Amino acid sequence: MILRHAHLSDLPEVYEICHRTGHAGQDASAVVTDRTLLGHYFAGPYLVHAPQWCWIACDERGVAGYLVTTPNSREFADWMESDWLPAVRQKVSLEPFDAASPFETWLRNLIHLPVPVPDLADDYPGHFHIDFLPRAQGQGLGHQALALFADQARTAGVKGFHLGVGVDNLRAQRFYAKEGFRVLREEPGVIYLGNRP
């Protein structure tokens, strides 16, 4: 398993991994009917916007995980609104349908809402999403990928980065605690964590 910078050609596999890990770290197939929805919001735009800020884990079988990041959450949100989401919103219906779970309904609504940027982005301007398939887990790749991001962020003068973790995703919370992240804020359903490069 190796880590490398992302390429646009990785998009299909990144989308699939986002779907297969998109429900509190588990496969979202039981709760999301459209396999592109999670990727449209939580993975694809990062890779398209700035592949040099994204890393891919791969082996002989192909892409097995990723770290997608932005060093500037406010600038990225503006780009999402102006360049990325208009086309996505045309594809993603808000019309209710019987097969939609509460999670999918939430996700479809999220896509149509303004991109939120928490005020903690003033002190921790970067943010990221990281997901690995089971075959890439337990090998230290998450630690290595975050170290690459931190090194690049430090060189670029990024003073900090944050992420939101679901309150039920205890495995992720334990991982980030080991990586030196601290709790910045708790809100219903989500814990915001931050770290300095």
DSSP lists the bridge partners of residue 63 as: 58
Q: Assign residue 84 the CATH number of its domain.
A: 3.40.630.30
Q: How far is CA 111 from CA 17, 90, 170, in A?
A: 19, 10, 26
- Residue length of the chain: 197
Its pTM stands at: 0.93
The pLDDT-based confidence of 100 (bands split at 50, 70, 90) is: confident
Question: Domain for residue 178, yes or no?
Answer: no
Question: Domain for residue 172, yes or no?
Answer: no
The pLDDT-based confidence of 97 (bands split at 50, 70, 90) is: confident
Percent of the chain at pLDDT above 90?
89
Question: Domain for residue 180, yes or no?
Answer: no
Report pLDDT for 25.
83
Spatial distance between the Cα atoms of 12 and 14, rounded to a whole number of angstroms: 5
Q: What is the pLDDT of residues 36-51, one digit of tens each?
A: 999 999 999 999 999 9
Question: Domain for residue 186, yes or no?
Answer: no
User: Domain range for residue 29?
Assistant: 2-157
Domain total of the chain: 1
Report pLDDT for 95.
80
